[in-house]
Amino acid sequence: MTQEVKAREVAAQEATAREVEGREVEGREVEGRRGNAREVLVIGGNRYFGKRLIARLLAAGDRVTVLNRGSSAPPPGATHLIADRDDENALDSALGSRAFDVVVDQVCYTPRQAAIARRVFAGRTRRYVLTSTVEVYEYEDSVAFVREQDVDPLDVRVDLELPWDEPGFRDSHYGEGKRQAEAVFAAEPAFPHVAVRVAHVLGGGDDFTGRLEHYASRIRAGEPITVPTANRPATYIHVEEIADFLFWTVGQDFTGPVNAASHGTLTTHELCEAVAARVPDGRAVFQEVEVGEVSPLSFRRFYGMDNTRATRLGFTFGNVRQWLPRAADETLGAVN
């Protein structure tokens, strides 16, 4: 039988008496920041904006530890730990007696992974930064910009028995997995935490998603770009800007969900115009469809996030239309 419970009930089942502030847990003590350096653990994060975050932390003089499955080494200056985060015993063993001022979790995709992290890092960190996503708002079909309170993690139902370990299921339930992961951390939290809800990210020569290249190949071949009949705009953020935001968040003390998005929105047409400008004689041709598969970054619902909370907390966002041409240049260059 499927076990579906409120996030608070999950926490009650997993309740721990371990506390973070100034308390020794199983021989470990969470130590404060020594001088200007912070002890920061980044889980995953060896590509795209994760690697930019690590570079910023190292440049600031922080002591950075990177934990992954060993698929790639971190940059020089960072300590490397190898473990499968899905294996609780292996994760706990790899960490040993280490404790951190801040943990930045770049690769938590499911409530199961969040539940393991809650147990393993209770008593090991003063602050936990979860990289979440705009996709947590996938059911909020609003014509207004969505705010953090529109998806309250404490109101999200958690189902730990869904097939989260199956890659196909996890990929097709990306937003739901992140939403439930947030819920696990929010319920009776074992440490102060923040969930950074990241807008769609663009820019960089190392953009691995292939989304702008999809447009470029279609424009180059004169093939139509499929979009919904009602094609809605969305908010975006530049790869350097989200790295800046995460670095800034590491040094703050606010908690809870926070939206990270540049000012302004873009439509698929505007994205394609920026791409077409880099293709000789390029012109985007669109094909509208009522149902069926559509091109990446084209949406039947509005994916606009309100960034007021982050702005009031002190972060300054750029404007999406100002950095879009640069992002297209970085990712595509001169497309022939």
pLDDT of residue 336: 42
CA quadruple 310, 255, 28, 160: dihedral sign: negative
The confidence band for 80, taking pLDDT boundaries of 50, 70 and 90, is very high
Measured CA distances, 161 to 6, 181, 188 (Å): 13, 13, 20
- Mean pLDDT for 294-318 is 95
The confidence band for 31, taking pLDDT boundaries of 50, 70 and 90, is very low
pLDDT at 142 over 90: no
To which residue do tokens 């499968």 refer? 84
pLDDT of residue 6: 41
pLDDT at 183 over 70: yes
pLDDT at 250 over 80: yes
Alpha-carbon distance 250 to 126, whole Å?
11
Indicate the pTM of the whole model: 0.88
pLDDT at 308 over 50: yes
- Our measurement of the distance from residue 150's CA atom to the centroid of its chain's CA atoms, rounded to an integer in Å, reads 18
pLDDT of residue 35: 55
- Mean pLDDT for 14-31 is 36
Closest CA to 159 of 115, 107, 106: 115
Alpha-carbon distance 313 to 65, whole Å?
27
Provide the β-strand partners of residue 66: 42, 80
Supply 109's token pair. Answer: 């995709």
The confidence band for 45, taking pLDDT boundaries of 50, 70 and 90, is confident
Alpha-carbon distance 39 to 43, whole Å?
13
Compute, in degrees rounded to 10, the torsion defined by CA atoms 85, 105, 133, 154: 90
pLDDT at 19 over 50: no
pLDDT of residue 328: 94
- What radius of gyration do the chain's Cα atoms show? 21
